[in-house]
Amino acid sequence: MSAKIIINDIICRYKSTGWQLGPISINFNAAKLTGIIGPNGSGKSTFISALARKLDFEGEIKIGKKSIEKFSSEKWANIVAYLPQRIPVQFDFSVEQTVAFGRFAKTGLMGFLEEADYSVIEKCLKQTDLIDLRNRMLSELSGGELQRTHLASVLVQEPQILLLDEPTSSLDIHHQIEFYGLVRECVDSGITAIIVTHELTLASHFCDELVLLSGGKLMEHNVPEKVIREDLIREVYGEKVCVLAHPETGRPMVVPEID
């Protein structure tokens, strides 16, 4: 099955406020990293929640040729992994236990982990540089270590599609770059990834395409050079900014314009 995502005229409504996202029609190509950007309240988290089947919507979202509403829960868990903004730590498990729990999306909660499952768990611990932390409890982790653990717990599902909602919002620049690098590696191995973010320059550097939302509407969907433009960013964010080209990659960087 193709991991291409096709969205036709979706609308998400909040009856209590009258606010709505959409209608939006857009396609996400397989094995690409797409960043969803926009100011607070633009609809980024609403959009990715609809993609993750966490929010009701009008219109149609398809993976390949199949509507997402027609996937069984088991099949859905084998295709799509979703990392929300906040994951409450209710029990103090170890890193390895937390990652192993993610594997039950494949086996079912009543299933048993077999040798092949443990091999995947080991691979994901290595991929996210958690081998030396495998026995560390969640309460003992730094913010970056905890986010790597959460990423490993969804990668262990071996998804075709990875949906990430502001996964780096609480991280310093070192751990943000580290996290984006891990996601980039996943995409280069064939996964389709969509990430909601406020880090415009990092999104420009790591993403293949960007989607810019404002007020529940799609403003632009294109390569970073066509989205991160001074006129468009100023219009959407209401701030004076300068957009500069990175000296090595040529990708756009956003810096504030100080009077």
Of 235 and 239, the structure prediction assigns the larger pLDDT to 235
Q: Cα–Cα distance between 99 and 133 in angstroms, integer?
A: 12
State the virtual CA torsion across 205, 207, 210, 211 in degrees, nearest 10. -130
Q: What are 247's two structure tokens?
A: 């000296």
Nearest to 2 by CA among 31, 26, 25: 31
Q: Are 171 and 147 in contact (CB under 8 A)?
A: yes
Domains, the chain, in order of start with CATH, read 1-79+159-224 (3.40.50.300), 90-157 (no CATH)
pLDDT in tens, 19-77: 999 999 999 999 999 999 999 999 999 999 999 999 999 999 999 999 999 999 889 98
pLDDT at 87: 77
C-alpha angle 26/176/152, rounded to 5°? 80
Q: How crowded is the C-beta side of 66, counted as CA atoms within 13 Å?
A: 11
Alpha helices in the chain, H assignment, sequence order: 44-51, 73-79, 95-107, 115-127, 143-155, 173-188, 200-206, 224-227, 230-237
